[in-house]
Chain A
Amino acid sequence: MTTPDAGDEGPASTPDAEDEGPTSTPDVGATIDAVRRSFETPTKWRPPFDPPFDKFHDWDDSGFDNQG
């Protein structure tokens, strides 16, 4: 078993009718993309596996290579 690549998500399947629709700001995805495109790809970056919001303790090894 290996850590799945972050960039090869399979196609989305049809949502159930009972599931809730979008609730977040519709343009935020585009904003995230724009901000990300403004960075040069960090050479030390690796797919961010680890819980960025894990609440139990402070992870210090979670792919922060490119951040000071």
Chain B
Amino acid sequence: MGLAMQGTEWSDQHFAPLNLLVIQASPFCNVDCSYCYLGDRLNRKRIEISTVAAAVRFVQDVPLAKMPLSVLWHAGEPMVVPMSLYERMFSCFSDGPQSIPVEHHFQTNATLLNDQWCKFIKQFGVRIGVSIDGPKEIHDAYRIDRSGRGTFDRVMRGIDKLREHAIPFSVISVITPAALSRPDEIWEFLSSLGACRLAFNVEEAEGAHPRSSLDGDDLQALTRAFFARIAARQEQTRGIPVRELRAMRSHLSAPPGSIVQQACNRPGAIINVDVNGNVTTLSPELLGQNHPKYGQFAWGNVHTDSWRDVMQHPRFLRAQQDVERGVQQCMRSCGYFEICGGGNPSNKLAELDRLDGTETQHCRLHVQAVADVVLEQLSARLARPTR
């Protein structure tokens, strides 16, 4: 794989095909989680239909990894935008000569879910991910509204609506210090929700949240213990699949020498479009950020630029050169490289103030801790005599 950049331009062969199109329908969020990375979440602007239509035109030139393409409405609460606008936005993908088969995804705080939204979700087959961190006390420690009130009860009402309408949903839960010592409670609670899959993110330093409360030397051991307990419970009960464990098992049973390709550091794999039509690739969290070295993370606009323009934008080339150097450094220095793929640029920027750095706290807590747990689990399983 020719990863090294030659000259000052990238050729197509350096890019991955598009797996995920992230669109910011609005930067606004009705919830004010204390660990949120988004800096503009009081901005009530809504995306224009013309911008969505331009985004559809924009991706015509982009090689797609799969059909249907996953379109994730995120970087703000998707349900603050009216259903009627979504109907028109969805039709930009489905109607006309440039139509693209897509599957729409909402990652939502669920507080605005009601019968009308549920009917809409069913009608358009929208895939739903709900953000909930655990039982009330744990969830409400961070996921609060602008009055400082916990949002747990409102989220649960939303989940009740999904269940009432038999809408499948997955759950993403953020691991905070409040959660680390209570894996059993969290497992039992999240397992009881009726979700089809669980995913755990760790609270991380990123964007508008420059310092994670999971920033401490002892936290890798605690996080490993958390995942070990979740893995044990999952294995004992053959319970709900957990994204991190399932992915790691897959990576650890792949042929020796295989290297996971991390979409966040592979240009083209994810394309991000903000409410104004600005475009980036790589980690979605970078979109809209400013940095003294890299300038504004916006490398084109769907109204005026093509994918090729983005690929040749000087600020993209500057950033990507460092991202690639960071991945190469990870390859040389980190024993986990094969099952990680070189880390997440947005975490490197937030934690190390550079894109060409290597290990971050996010690596230690969300990759290495999980890998250690699954390695131990698989080693134990493989050591058992076969019957």
Interface 9-residue window, one of B46-54, B139-147, B258-266 = B258-266
Chain B interface mostly helix, strand, loop or mixed?
mixed
CB-CB contacts below 8 Å: B229-245 with A: 243-244
Chain A interface mostly helix, strand, loop or mixed?
loop
CB-CB contacts below 8 Å: B373-387 with A: 375, 378-379, 382
Nearest CB of B to A31, in Å: 6
Bound state CA distance, A13 and B325, in angstroms? 9
| A9 lies within 8 A of B375 (CB) | no
Number of interface residues of B (CB under 8 A): 80
A32 with B335: in contact, given A7-B257, A12-B328, A52-B260 (CB under 8 Å)? yes
Any A CB within 8 A of the CB of B65: yes
Number of interface residues of A (CB under 8 A): 58
Which residues from B are CB-within-8-Å of A1?
A: 12-13, 15-17, 63, 268
Bound state CA distance, A65 and B260, in angstroms? 15
Bound state CA distance, A61 and B314, in angstroms? 33
A9 with B3: in contact, given A35-B379, A52-B247, A64-B250 (CB under 8 Å)? yes
CB-CB contacts below 8 Å: A28-50 with B: 28-33, 35-39, 41-42, 45, 47-50
Q: Name the contact of B252 in the complex, choosing from A15, A32, A50, A61 (C-beta under 8 A).
A: A32
Nearest chain B residue, comparing its CB with the CB of A65: B250
Q: Which of B12, B199, B261 has the most CB of A within 10 A?
A: B261
Bound state CA distance, A61 and B129, in angstroms? 15
| A45 lies within 8 A of B255 (CB) | yes
Any A CB within 8 A of the CB of B338: yes
Bound state CA distance, A40 and B368, in angstroms? 24
| A55 lies within 8 A of B201 (CB) | yes
| B1 lies within 8 A of A19 (CB) | no
A12 with B332: in contact, given A7-B257, A45-B255 (CB under 8 Å)? yes
Which residues from A are CB-within-8-Å of B199?
A: 55, 58
Bound state CA distance, A12 and B270, in angstroms? 25
6 contacts between A and B (CB under 8 A): A19-B329, A31-B375, A33-B257, A35-B253, A45-B253, A60-B197
Given known contacts A28-B375, A36-B254, A48-B260, what 20 new A-B pairs fall within 8 Å (CB)?
A1-B13, A1-B17, A9-B259, A22-B333, A23-B334, A24-B335, A32-B335, A32-B371, A33-B257, A35-B379, A36-B258, A47-B261, A48-B250, A51-B270, A52-B260, A53-B262, A53-B367, A58-B198, A65-B250, A67-B246
